[in-house]
Amino acid sequence: MLAGQGSNEQAAGGDAEQAGAHAPAGFFALALGSIGVVYGDIGTSPLYALREAVHAVSGGISGGAWPIARETIIGVLSLILWSLILVVTIKYVVILLRADNKGEGGTLSLVALAQRAMGRSHGLVLALGITGAALFYGDSMLTPAISVLSAVEGFRLAAPELGHYVVPITVVILVALFAVQSRGTGKVAAFFGPVMALWFAVLGLTGLLHIMDDPDVFRALLPHYGLMFLINHPAVAFAVLGAVCLAVTGAEALYADLGHFGRGPIRAAWMGFVFPALVLNYFGQGALVLAHPDAIENPFYRLVPDWGLLPLTVMAMVATIIASQAVITGAFSLTRQAIQLGLLPRLEVRFTSASHQGQIFLPRVNAMLLVGVLFLVAMFGSSSGLAHAYGISVFGAMVVDGILAILVIWRGWRWSLALAALLITPFLAIDIAFFAANLLKLFSGGYVPVLLASILIIVMWTWVKGTAILFAKTRKVDVPLVELVEMLQKSPPHRVKGTAVFLTSDPETAPSALLHNLKHNKVLHEKNVILTVKTADVPRIGDEERVNIEPIADGFWRVEMTFGYMETPNVPKGLAILRKRGFKFDIMSTSFFLSRRSIRPAAQSGMPLWQDRLFISLAKNANDATDFFQIPTGRVVEVGTQVTV
């Protein structure tokens, strides 16, 4: 919920106007980078999409001349083409790329926009956001597994003696892919862009070479043939839709990557290069199958002569590795947004670029994805097996995007509800149809993404609910800050030199660290800052809006420091802004007081005992506040308190 920006401004803005303001070379570099990262997933769909769709029609019959009518091949091709046009081109590239939150895209950006339009506490928006994020994580595990497996399976044609090593080779490739993530997406994309550009050129060329094998294939340009196929074959319509949808997987990742390349470059790459190459390849496969029905066993690899099988397999293997990058880095971005929106506990975020904020690496998320991907490869063992598990998470996330888009267009763009629904409902209906079609695979593999999403939904909902309960309980025993300050004015304790910064989530109540410092040390600093760090529902904010300071009484100030949900909070930099505004203090004589809570399950809680324990485990494994807020470790004083939840 991703790399290679031309500039910080463009990464933050992400729209066509900003992209156009840069030099053509910068725009071209961004478009090339988007080909490598944004379109990697959708660019490897020709490896298996048409094959699986026709297999769904035939019921999996293999070998010999396939008893499939020409109208069926044309109908399936028409469904693939118009799915690319309606779902990817119109819904995502044309409409949803406009629904950016200060340049950032993805499900959680839609959540932030919808919260701003509907009210931050709106339960429906929060539930949709949690569900969409959980489904995207499932996609982030399934995409690398199916993509790399489908490419390595080409060795069974090119080098049959390697057929038994498909799974081990896949495992080695995947481990290497996740191992290089820590180097940064920018370096990866610099290599991926040109390679994927070559891949799409090969897709277009191999399709073009066969497109005249049977000119009848051009009838698929008319949507009539796709609709008539569904009407005339109701018994297999849902099964075919469940395979056709494989051609558009990657569209959600396209939207999630918006902030890293900008709207203009992403659109230009799709319209001018990626979409034509995909259409040529699918039509080339269709013409080949019409002319040689036995080619349906693996139409993609049959596009090249025998001598070209091994080079194409190697290139496909590289392309599928790159395809996995879009969802991996999308998961990094999504996790960071989820942390900032309060859906997950703090996790370590490493910046991999000094100039581009969006290039990040999250070690724990990377490790979790690797374990999940390897488990899926071992469990299913083939791309056909994984195809049964693939679509539910992808189209579940797309359905969530569609519902959130209606809310954003209605309340955020101030359209009438009827117009917003009229615009999005046709695309939402397509997504729901694809999602329903994939539910038919629930017991043959589709339960995997459902199980993964369910676990992640429970984790996120537990964190949201637990933090709310904890906040409510601590409010009951907290002392109002103003009352405490008035008491200290009447009976002042001993003052020591320097500045004390007390971090708290509630600026209206006295921080527990301040109370414990007074109780046990019986001293007060000359300057006391009650600091609250907040997350805005925009990706990034300027320094002029970063810090607000309010004097409370002699020696006390209330400071509110705000960061965008795509930014990592940096308290020292925020305090440096205060110094420029005239608030004098010496960082070397400043102490930061943090409360370290020891959480215990309560006898009477708002959650079941198992959920209490899950919340406590999540809290224990959260990244240390000192690291998260980038506070100098030598200036931190931690005060322990015990609370129940």
> DSSP labels for 291-324?
H-GGGGGSTTGGGS-GGGHHHHHHHHHHHHHHHH
Least confident of 12-21, 124-133, 627-636: 12-21
Query: Where a domain ends, among 419, 441, 465?
Result: 465
Confidence grade of residue 314 (pLDDT, cut at 50, 70, 90):
confident
pLDDT at residue 83, rounded to an integer: 95
Q: What sections of 213-308 are H helices per DSSP?
A: 223-232, 234-244, 251-256, 258-261, 263-269, 275-291
Enclosing domain of residue 619: 477-644
CB atoms within 10 A of CB 343: 24
Q: Percent of the chain, pLDDT > 70?
A: 90
Do 448 and 487 belong together in one domain?
no
Average pLDDT over residues 221-227: 94
pLDDT at residue 64, rounded to an integer: 38
CB atoms within 10 A of CB 69: 12
pLDDT reading at 270 higher than 80: yes
pLDDT at residue 536, rounded to an integer: 79
Confidence grade of residue 198 (pLDDT, cut at 50, 70, 90):
very high
Query: Where a domain ends, among 465, 499, 525?
Result: 465
Whether 19 maps to a domain, the answer reads: no
Contact 261, 45 (CB under 8 A): no
Do 438 and 348 belong together in one domain?
yes
pLDDT at residue 310, rounded to an integer: 87
Do 248 and 387 belong together in one domain?
yes
Do 483 and 382 belong together in one domain?
no
pLDDT reading at 2 higher than 60: no
* pLDDT single digits (tens) 504-522: 888 888 888 888 888 888 8
Do 490 and 435 belong together in one domain?
no
pLDDT reading at 70 higher than 60: yes
How far apart are the C-alpha atoms of 134 and 128, rounded to whole Å?
10
- For 93-108, letters b (16+ CB in 10 Å) and e give beebbebbbbbbbbbb
Do 420 and 493 belong together in one domain?
no
Whether 371 maps to a domain, the answer reads: yes
For tokens 């995409």, name the residue.
143
pLDDT reading at 7 higher than 70: no
Whether 472 maps to a domain, the answer reads: no
Query: Where a domain ends, among 443, 465, 487?
Result: 465
Confidence grade of residue 275 (pLDDT, cut at 50, 70, 90):
very high
Task: Please choose, from the candidates 57, 503, 101, the residue with its C-alpha nearest in 3D space to the C-alpha of residue 263.
Answer: 101
Single-letter residue type at 465: K
pLDDT reading at 5 higher than 70: no
From first CA to last CA, the distance across the chain in angstroms is 30
pLDDT at residue 287, rounded to an integer: 95
Predicted structure pTM score: 0.76
pLDDT at residue 614, rounded to an integer: 92
Whether 77 maps to a domain, the answer reads: yes
Side-chain half-sphere CA neighbours of 485 within 13 A: 21
pLDDT reading at 227 higher than 60: yes
Contact 613, 569 (CB under 8 A): no
How far apart are the C-alpha atoms of 288 and 292, rounded to whole Å?
6
* pLDDT single digits (tens) 30-61: 888 888 878 888 998 998 899 888 888 876 44
Domain count, the chain: 2
Whether 367 maps to a domain, the answer reads: yes
* CA angle centred on 376, ends 373 and 378, rounded to 5°: 110
How far apart are the C-alpha atoms of 398 and 9, rounded to whole Å?
28
Average predicted confidence (pLDDT) for the chain = 83
pLDDT at residue 271, rounded to an integer: 95
Whether 491 maps to a domain, the answer reads: yes
Q: Which long-range contacts (CB under 8 A, 24 or more apart) does 403-407 make?
A: 403/128, 403/428, 404/107, 404/110, 404/111, 404/113, 404/114, 404/125, 404/128, 404/129, 404/132, 405/95, 405/96, 405/99, 405/110, 407/114, 407/117, 407/118, 407/125
pLDDT at residue 20, rounded to an integer: 37
How far apart are the C-alpha atoms of 538 and 108, rounded to whole Å?
11
pLDDT at residue 159, rounded to an integer: 76
Task: Please choose, from the candidates 409, 414, 428, the residue with its C-alpha nearest in 3D space to the C-alpha of residue 99.
Answer: 409
Do 46 and 99 belong together in one domain?
yes
Query: At 306, which CATH number?
Result: 1.20.1740.10
Do 268 and 410 belong together in one domain?
yes
Whether 7 maps to a domain, the answer reads: no
Q: Percent of the chain, pLDDT > 90?
A: 31
pLDDT reading at 14 higher than 50: no
Do 380 and 334 belong together in one domain?
yes
Q: Work out whether strand 547-553 and strand 523-536 pair parallel, antiparallel, or are unpaired.
A: unpaired
* CA angle centred on 607, ends 601 and 613, rounded to 5°: 40
Least confident of 201-215, 250-264, 298-312: 250-264
Do 460 and 483 belong together in one domain?
no
Do 451 and 504 belong together in one domain?
no
How far apart are the C-alpha atoms of 85 and 79, rounded to whole Å?
10
Confidence grade of residue 551 (pLDDT, cut at 50, 70, 90):
very high
pLDDT at residue 477, rounded to an integer: 67
Least confident of 140-144, 165-169, 248-252, 622-626: 622-626
* pLDDT single digits (tens) 370-404: 999 999 999 988 887 887 777 888 889 899 999 99
Do 459 and 570 belong together in one domain?
no
Using DSSP, state whether 594 is helix, strand or coil.
strand
When comparing pLDDT for 484 and 13, which is higher? 484
Q: What is the DSSP string of 87-108?
A: IIIIIIIIIGGGS-BTTB-SHH
pLDDT at residue 392, rounded to an integer: 86
- Looking at the DSSP bridge assignments, the partners of residue 593 are 502, 637
Whether 5 maps to a domain, the answer reads: no
